Structure 1
Amino acid sequence: MGVRVDDSVVVTAPADRVWNVITDFAAYHEWNPFQRECSAELTPGAPIRMLVALGPGGPMRQTEYIDEVDVAGRWFTYRMRPAPMRLLHSVRRQSVVDLGDGRSRYESHFEINGPLSPLVDALLGRRLTAKFAAVAAAVKVRAEADGR
């Protein structure tokens, strides 16, 4: 079994504003507690370069790749390049759902699979869960503050 982390949060802001928050990669350093730096073009195949703060030892540079983008549906995914023999592979999906009345829901899905995923779970599972929850909370704060 791999590692799977799902989070969602209702945001008192229109879906377009939340979408703008999660796709303004250059501003991640202003609000995102996990991805301290981020640069990407929202184009399938494009790299998404991040400085992630996962645990001890300080932030770590990481490059993954935009996989799918649906601007109209307000979601995108990115993946790490699989390790040899698919020993480890991941996907992250971020999406925004319009709830009407100026409210929306931010959804985050992350999973990492492969024969080495139990090791990742043992070493980083709790941290990943906490970090993705912190990101969801920060998206809410940022999107709601941007409207004032």
Structure 2
Amino acid sequence: MSKHIVRMTLGIIILLVVLYIATLVAANTTIAEKSIQTEVVIDASPSRVWQVLTDFEAYPQWNPFIRRIKGEARPGEQLTAELNVGDLTMTFQPTILIVQPERELRWIGRLFIPGVFDGEHGFIIEQLGRKRVRFVQSESFKGILVPFSGGILKDTERSFQEMNRELKERAEGQT
């Protein structure tokens, strides 16, 4: 009888935890949200920066953060991307949300199911002059695992800065 009560109690606890997580996910409620944003001024036209940013096949040649991307820059497209963040290499499959040529590229990636660990990544090209732009790279992280991701978020910000520097060099160095 005692083993039966222990098993039943454990089963009820597990069921309650699963229901709690399912409720959070179903309600699209997240426990935490964190954002990262970096920017760099690039002496190149918006069209040149856009061309470098969306030439996914060339990423292995210059991009220290996003080492590879397979897919095309169009809304709804699911990409396969390989990232280097600190000492980690990760592969994930984001879905493109926004493509505004020479202005914005945005995608969302998820870990397992929505609400666990979601990242919405954006690239904005803001024209400052005829051949000068501000390039803004950002990501908003949401989900129940975000509070446990402090170290990787710091590494991600450094990776954004490295990518920004290399994008600047490539866009300014070629016409």
- TM > 0.5 between the two? yes
**Equivalent residue for 2:70?**
39
2:87 counterpart (56, 67, 73): 56
5+ residue gaps, structure 2, are 1-31
Q: How does 1:50-89 map to 2 (within 5 A)?
A: 50-57=81-88, 59-71=89-101, 74-81=103-110, 83-84=112-113, 86-89=115-118
Q: Distance in 2 between matches of 1:47 and 1:84?
A: 15
Query: Identical aligned pairs, as a percentage?
Result: 26
Q: Which residue of 1 aligns with 2:52?
A: 21
Match of 1:132 among 133, 155, 160: 160
Which residue in 1 is equivalent to 2:148? 119
Using the TM superposition, give the Cα deviation of residue 7 of structure 1 relative to its aligned residue in structure 2, in angstroms: 0.9
What is the CA–CA distance in structure 1 between the aligned matches of 2:153 and 2:90, rounded to whole Å? 17
Large movers: runs of 4+ above 6 Å? none
Rg larger in 1 or in 2? 2
Shift of 1:82: 5.8
Q: Pick the structure with more helix per residue.
A: 2
Task: Give the number of the structure with larger relative contact order, counting CA–CA contacts within 8 Å between residues 6 or more apart.
Answer: 1
Matched residues in 1 for 2:110 and 2:155: separation? 21
Q: Structure 1 unaligned runs (5+)?
A: none
Q: Distance in 2 between matches of 1:69 and 1:132?
A: 20
TM-score using structure 1 length:
0.89
C-alpha separation between the residues in 1 aligned to 2:134 and 2:39?
Answer: 7
Question: What is the deviation of 1:2?
Answer: 2.3
Among 88, 100, 103, which residue is 2:129 paired with?
100
User: What amino acid does structure 2 have at the position aligned with 1:98?
Assistant: Q
Classify the secondary structure of the residue corresponding to 2:75. coil
How big is the shift at 1:56?
2.8
Once superposed, what is the RMSD of the aligned Cα atoms?
1.6
SS at match of 1:96: strand
- Answer whether contact 1:49 1:64 (CA < 8 A) is retained: yes
Distance 1:109 1:11 in 2: 17
Q: CA deviation at 1:6?
A: 0.5
- State the alpha-carbon separation in 1 of the partners of residues 138 and 168 from structure 2: 16
**Secondary structure of the corresponding residue to residue 94 of structure 2:** strand
